Amino acid sequence: MATWKITPTWKKSVVERQCWTKGEDTVEYEIGWRWGEFFIESENEPVELKEGDFDIMNCGYELIDFSTDDGCWEESDIVVEDEQEYETTYEFLQENSVYDLEELGWEMSECEMWIQCECDIEEVKE
């Protein structure tokens, strides 16, 4: 099994999307990254990924490691029924990381990492 490094060719082309849930309520969170490196395992070079526009976490290959660098935007969409829950969640996110939502009983239910441009692919030699 070979390890392959996937690198976007354009900056600001990696978009991470997370969905957090608490009962029927959701927080959809998005962060744009200027750069990233992603490592997958595959018998053969994953040439179909060169064209880009795929979710590296759900592309049919085992993602074994990744790093992102220089977040350049963040957006969140809070969809809750209760006005007080909205205010509490909104204020909490102004002062804390989205990962701290667990303190308020939220759970991450989905995570995607989209590479929205062409990619360079190289085999990692050990």
Q: Give 38-81 pLDDT, tens digit per residue.
A: 999 999 999 999 999 999 999 999 999 999 999 999 999 999 99
The pLDDT assigned to 43 comes to 94
pLDDT surpasses 90 at 125: no
**pTM higher than the cut 0.85:** yes
Structural domain boundaries of the chain? 2-120
∠ Cα 14 111 98 (to 5°): 90
Confidence bin at 126 (pLDDT 50/70/90)? confident
> Do residues 33 and 71 lie in contact, with contact meaning Cβ atoms separated by under 8 Å?
yes
Residue 55 in 3-state DSSP?
strand
The span from the CA of 115 to the CA of 74, in Å, is 16
Residue 121 in 3-state DSSP?
strand
DSSP state of 23: T
> Do residues 19 and 97 lie in contact, with contact meaning Cβ atoms separated by under 8 Å?
no
